[in-house]
Amino acid sequence: QVQLVESGGGLVQTGGSLRLSCAASGSIFRINAMGWYRQAPGKQRELVATITSGASTNYADSVKGRFTISRDNAKNTVNLQMSSLKPEDTAVYYCKLDFAQAEPFLRTYSYWGQGTQVTVSS
């Protein structure tokens, strides 16, 4: 019913750049926020960056100044521009959608994408 399509992951050398995209579709009345989280092997999933319906952003300290999150409301898409990549950025990156459905009454939900691998070689 709701689908998130993630793209842009891959292998890059230290100092390189990647751009991740996540497009949402399905039974969505309103998107409240979208964001990116990541999980490295043996580690817990952590927040990378989020953007709300009001366009306010939040970044993990480890990526501030290097990553930029943006959105395209008309396409229900969120992007993450990653630059100056480091080996410690290596992880599976997951798109998260916080949204509302209106029938029979307004309810809010969270939905996760399948993840896309980002590998930064040293």
Provide the pLDDT for residue 1.
85
Q: What is the pLDDT along the chain (122 residues), one digit of tens a residue?
A: 899 999 999 999 999 999 999 999 999 999 999 999 999 999 999 999 999 999 999 999 999 999 999 999 889 999 999 999 999 999 999 999 999 999 899 999 999 999 999 999 99
For residue 89, count other CB atoms closer than 10 A to its CB.
22
Q: Which of 13, 26, 7 is nearest to 86 (CA)?
A: 13
The CA distance from 90 to 85, in Å, is 9
Place of tokens 């916080």: 98
Strands (E), 27-61: 30-39, 46-52, 57-59
